Amino acid sequence: MGLVCSNGEEMQKMKNLGSIGSSGRLSAEEYEDEEISKLAISTFQSKEEEIERKKMEVREKVELQLGRAEEETRRLAHIWEELEVLDDPLRKEVAMVRKKIDLANRDLKPLGLNYQKKMLTESERMRMKKLDELCKIIESLSLKP
C-alpha cells in the first residue's frame, strides 16, 4: 500500500511555500510542524508496512496450514479406501459363512425332529417292554401260592 496525497496535504505545502519569508526560509514553527508531519507520515508508512508484512506472514501461515490439512485429508481418504478394501472381503466371507450356517441349520432341523421322534418311539418301546416284564413278574408272583 502506498501513501496517497490528499488535497489537504497539497494545500499545506502551498501554505508553506507562501509563508516563506523574504530570506527564503521557513519560520522555526513551520519548520517544526513540517518535521512533525514528515515524522508522522514516516511513522504511518512504517506501521502500514509492518501491518502489510504481518498480514503476509499470517497469510503464509494460513496457506501452509491449509496445505497440511489438505494433505492430511488426502492421506486419510487413502487410508479409508485401503480399510474398505480390506474390510470388503471380510464382509463377503462373513456373509458366506452365515449362509452356510443357515443352510446347515435348515438341514439339521428336520434331522433333529426325526431324532426326537425316534427317541420318543424308542423310549415308548422300552417303557412298554419294561411294563410287559413287570406284568410277567407280577403274574408269576400271583400264580405262586
State pLDDT tens for residues 29-60. 888 999 999 999 999 999 999 999 999 999 99
User: CA–CA separation, 74 vs 70, rounded Å?
Assistant: 6
pLDDT over threshold 70, residue 136: yes
Mean pLDDT of the chain: 84
What is the reported pTM?
0.38
In the structure grid, which three cell numbers stand for residue 51, read together? 501491518
Give the pLDDT confidence score for residue 16 in this predicted structure: 54
pLDDT over threshold 50, residue 125: yes
